[in-house]
Structure 1
Amino acid sequence: MSNALGGHGGSADVSSAGSNIAPSPAGPATSGPTATRKPSAEGTREPAPAGSVVPKVSDPPLPKSAKERVAAARSLAAKHGAKLMHPVEPKNVPSAMSEAAANAKVTVVGSAKSGTTMRIVTARGDLTGQRELASVAGDVIPVGPVSCSQRFKFANEEKPAVRKNLLVCWRTAAQRSVVVLTADVHGKPSRHDTVETVNKQWSKLG
């Protein structure tokens, strides 16, 4: 058997082959599978190439004064085609009436879900031409001592127009005032209910 193996050069081939196998390069010892680093929950950012300049991104500074901020907002609105509106404001109102408007009590009843809301404003003073009444633009209909209208002008740039979904009714005097603004999504605010609310609130003010 040994001669047969030797005749084929089996022993010499195995030993020489073993001596020709290059040892594997030594690497760092690890106790388990190679660990991979996972990105954090906040995410990771690829490092910038060496020598490159990364631009700094920051929000533009806000204007310092309120006047500058208003001017910046108007400029942005004009740039995007938004029309600037100026609300209608009371003019030449005596200080006593202004004080009554500032101290008025406001209550809202109803809900958008129901489709109808009433904004009830009561004051110990005269609200003529103020608050909700500053937007009334004619077509006043008297209902006893109460007045009602559906014609409004909410901004100086607008033309007076009838708002089918809005109705305002009011009663004012030097010592007390009641204003009720009714909004109805179906375009049918009840004059009866609005006038009735004005009269009830007027009686409560005594």
Structure 2
Amino acid sequence: METLTEKIGAASVSIMKADYDLTGKGFVRWAADQGNPVEGSRCTNRFRFAGSKSTQVKPNMMLCWRVSADRSVAAVTFGAKDSQTTAAETAQVVARHWAETR
């Protein structure tokens, strides 16, 4: 697994790339729902962190992921101002790294 950091404007994006299915692992385990489809990824700002039974909506964070049996990319954006815009931008980060992992 590889972890990287990038910027989208003033927001920070942490990216995980793996050559296996990250479902239930890494950032993907924080997803409190199935996410919404955005540009080939699933994205959500509803989180469930370790040790918590409750779901938290984080308007300044966005999690997007794309997984398969032999590769995965997940990205979480922190410090975002507009979660609607950030979903598309974060999904674009996932798409770019997904294309690089072939």
- Structures share a fold, TM > 0.5? yes
Distance in 2 between residues matched to 1:153 and 1:192, nearest whole Å: 22
1:188 maps to 2:82: yes
Query: Between Structure 1 and Structure 2, which shows a larger proportion of strand residues?
Result: 2
1:201 partner SS: helix
In structure 2, runs of 5+ residues without a counterpart are: none
Q: 1:172 maps to which residue? A: 67
Identical positions, percent: 27
Tell me, yes or no, if the aligned pair for 1:132 and 1:181 is still in contact at 8 Å: yes
Give the CA RMSD over aligned residues: 1.8
User: Which residue identity is paired with 1:105?
Assistant: E
Return the index of the structure with the highest Cα Rg: 1
1:110 maps to 2:4: no
Q: 1:160 maps to which residue? A: 55
Instruction: Note closer, same or farther for the CA distance 1:200–1:160 as it changes in structure 2 (3 Å cut).
Output: same
Query: Between Structure 1 and Structure 2, which shows a larger proportion of helix residues?
Result: 1
Alpha-carbon distance, 1:110 to partner: 2.5
Distance in 1 between residues matched to 2:34 and 2:19, nearest whole Å: 26
User: Which residue identity is paired with 1:188?
Assistant: D
Greater relative contact order (Cα < 8 A, sep 6+)? 2
Q: 1:124 maps to which residue? A: 19
1:131-142 → structure 2 map (5 Å cutoff): 131-138=26-33, 140-142=35-37
Distance in 2 between residues matched to 1:117 and 1:145, nearest whole Å: 21
Distance in 2 between residues matched to 1:116 and 1:144, nearest whole Å: 20
1:39-54 → structure 2 map (5 Å cutoff): none
User: Which residue identity is paired with 2:23?
Assistant: T
Instruction: Note closer, same or farther for the CA distance 1:177–1:157 as it changes in structure 2 (3 Å cut).
Output: closer
In structure 1, runs of 5+ residues without a counterpart are: 1-103
Alpha-carbon distance, 1:143 to partner: 1.9
Instruction: Note closer, same or farther for the CA distance 1:140–1:169 as it changes in structure 2 (3 Å cut).
Output: same
Tell me, yes or no, if the aligned pair for 1:139 and 1:150 is still in contact at 8 Å: no
Alpha-carbon distance, 1:156 to partner: 2.7
Tell me, yes or no, if the aligned pair for 1:139 and 1:151 is still in contact at 8 Å: no
